[in-house]
Amino acid sequence: MTATGRDDARRVRLITDSSACLPPHEIERHEISIVPTVLVWNGEELRDGVDITNEAFWKRLATDPNLPTTSATSPRAYAAEFAKARDAGLDVVCATIPRRISAMTEVAEMAARDFPGPPFVRVIPTGAATMAHGFPVLLGARAASAGADLDTVERTVRQVANESAIVALLGSLEYLARGGRVPRVVARVADVLPSTPIFEMRHGRIRFRAAFGSRGRALRALVKHVQRAAQGASYLGVAVHHAAAVDEAHQLAEQIRRDMAPDDLYVTSFTPVMGAHVGPDLVGLAYCALSD
Residues 201, 206, 212, CA angle at the centre, nearest 5°? 90
**Residue range(s) defining the domain that contains residue 111:** 12-37+72-162
What does the pLDDT average to over 197-212?
Answer: 82
**58 assigned to some structural domain:** no
Which of the pair, 243 or 145, is modelled with greater confidence? 145
pLDDT in tens, 10-61: 799 999 999 999 999 999 999 999 999 999 999 999 999 899 988 899 889 8
What is the structure's pLDDT at 176? Answer: 58
* pTM of the shown model: 0.88
Please check whether residue 4 lies inside any domain of the structure: no
Output phi, psi for 197, to 5 deg.
-70, 135
Report whether pLDDT(149) > 90: yes
Number of residues that this document lists for the chain: 292
Q: How confident is the model at residue 173 (pLDDT cuts 50, 70, 90)?
A: low
66, part of any domain: no
151, pLDDT greater than 60: yes
Output the average pLDDT for the chain.
87
Dist CA 284 CA 136 (whole Å): 18
Q: For residue 178, what pLDDT band results from cuts at 50, 70 and 90?
A: low
Same domain, 148 and 16: yes
Identify whether residues 140 and 226 lie together within a single domain: no
Q: What is the mean pLDDT of residues 232-254?
A: 92
220 and 88 co-located in one domain: no
Report which of residues 6 and 283 the model is more confident about.
Answer: 283
Q: In what order do the strands lie in the sheet with 195-202?
A: 205-212, 195-202, 164-169, 283-290, 235-242, 264-269
The answer on 153 and 234 residing in a single domain is: no
| 4 pLDDT higher than 50 | no
What's the whole-number mean pLDDT along residues 212-237?
90
Residue where a domain terminates, one of 126, 144, 162: 162
Domain CATH number, residue 82: 3.40.50.10170
For CA atoms 168, 173, 174, 179, the dihedral sign is: positive
**68: cis peptide before it, omega within 30°?**
no
Q: Are residues 228 and 188 in the same domain?
A: yes
Q: Is the pLDDT of residue 289 over 80?
A: yes
Give, in degrees to the nearest 5, the angle at Cα 226 between 222 and 227: 115
Q: How far apart are CA 264 and CA 38, in angstroms?
A: 29
Assess whether 22 and 156 both reside in one domain. Answer: yes
Tell whether 130 and 172 lie within a shared domain.
Answer: no
pLDDT of the residue at 191: 55
Among residues 162, 181, 199, the one where a domain terminates is 162
Report the domain count for the chain: 2
Does the structure show a pLDDT above 50 at 145? yes
130 and 169 share one domain: no
* Orientation of helix 75-87 relative to helix 104-112, angle to 10°: 50
**Which range has the top average pLDDT, 37-51, 79-93, 238-252, 271-285?**
79-93
Examine the domain organization and report whether 140 and 220 are in the same domain.
no
For residues 16 and 122, membership in a common domain is answered with: yes
> Can you tell me the mean pLDDT for 239-246?
88
Position 275 pLDDT exceeds 70: yes
Q: CB neighbours (10 Å) of residue 113?
A: 10
DSSP state of 40: E
The upper half-sphere exposure of residue 135, i.e. CA atoms within 13 Å in the direction of its Cβ, equals: 31
CB 145 within 8 A of CB 151: no
Note whether 205 and 99 are within 8 A (CB). Answer: no
Q: What is the pLDDT of residue 292?
A: 77
State the DSSP H helix or E strand holding residue 121, giving kind and residue range, or none if neither. Answer: strand 121-125
> C-alpha angle with apex 134: 78 to 46, nearest 5 degrees?
50
Last residue of one domain, picked from the residues 146, 162, 178? 162
Q: What phi, psi does 187 have (nearest 5°)?
A: -65, -40
- In this predicted model, which residue has the larger pLDDT, 177 or 52? 52
Q: What is the CATH number of the domain that holds 186?
A: 3.30.1180.10
